Amino acid sequence: MAAKDSRQITPQHVAIIMDGNGRWATGRGLPRLKGHQAGAKRVREIVRACPDLGVRYLTLFAFSTENWRRSSAEVSGLMALFRRYLMSEAKELKESGVCVRFIGNRAALNPKLVQLMTRLEADTVDNTRLNLTIALNYGARDEIAMAAASLAQAIARGDIDGSAVTPADVAAHLYTSDLPDPDLVIRTSGETRISNFLLWQSAYAEYEFTPILWPDFTAGHFADILLSFGGRERRFGAVLT
Ligand code: FPP
């Protein structure tokens, strides 16, 4: 792959695994859902901070395909929180120029939540100040398997030559086909795993693991990480002269 500009200062696309809500709550003797509520406030703060920090694309991991294994009370509490967030934030997101997309499998989600998601996408489709992607019931392996199935259908139709499938063909069948790859992936809470998030898209991303729990992660912490990214040289597999 040809070298891109290694002097890039601000990452164009930042993806975040928002982890640590549960520990934040239990550490305070509170129910886990209180941690998710505090986390939702940070979502608002980080989204608002992006345009001034020069971030054009923000992708947030809100609910994974594995998160259904949590207690039914936590899952339904999270789903209710997503609905409330979309209802309460829709106006500000629309008016502040945020284009919202959702990635993940919608089939298993409550139809009322899906309706809110679809409406917000339609209402913000022309916005360009910030591209906010919310991964909801998202899993990278599911996404890649879905892309493989969809490629197989394209090959069967004769639209693609099955003996010459390219990485660009695969990328075009992912949920993220119209997004640039993330430059930087941040995970909060001290865990150093990727947990099935954007596996294909993050092939050349930088990673930042911070011990701060998501409900404590402020716009100031975010700005500090972006600053440190500016000092890293990205080679994309090439040797730069
Ligand atoms: C991981 O923390 C967090 C989640 C599974 C949910 C993320 C949801 C939010 C931040 C709420 C609002 C989001 C939006 C988009 C409105 P955890 O519960 O796994 O924490 P733990 O590892 O400490 O238990």
pLDDT of 235 > 70? The answer is: no
Segment 137-185, tens digit of pLDDT: 999 999 999 999 999 999 999 999 999 999 999 999 999 999 999 999 9
Segment 189-203, tens digit of pLDDT: 999 999 999 999 999
Segment 23-76, tens digit of pLDDT: 999 999 999 999 999 999 999 999 999 999 999 999 999 999 999 999 999 999
Closest by CA position to 4, among listed 241, 231, 238: 238
- CA-nearest residue, atom 3 of ligand 1: 19
Q: Note the helical H segments in the chain.
A: 21-26, 32-53, 72-95, 111-124, 140-157, 167-172, 219-230
- The rounded distance, in Å, linking the Cα atoms of 39 and 216 is 8
Share of the chain above pLDDT 90, in %: 90
Relative orientation angle of helices 32-53 and 72-95, to the nearest 10 degrees: 30
Residues within 6 Å of ligand 1 by CB: 18-23, 36, 39-40, 43, 60, 62, 67, 81-82, 85, 134, 189, 214
CA 152 vs. chain centroid, Å, equals: 27
Tell me what the pLDDT averaged over the chain comes to. Answer: 94
Q: Which atom of ligand 1 is nearest to the CA of 85?
A: 16
Which of 18, 76, 136, 192 is the pocket-test mutation for ligand 1 (most atoms within 8 Å of CB)?
Answer: 18
**67 belongs to the catalytic site:** yes
The fourth-level CATH superfamily of domain 13-139+181-229 is Decaprenyl diphosphate synthase-like (3.40.1180.10)
Give residue 23's pLDDT.
98
- CA-nearest residue, atom 22 of ligand 1: 20
Question: Span 90-112, mean pLDDT?
Answer: 98
Give residue 240's pLDDT.
59
Residues 6+ apart with CB under 8 A from 147: 170, 173, 174
| Phi, psi (rounded to 5 degrees) for 125 | -60, -30
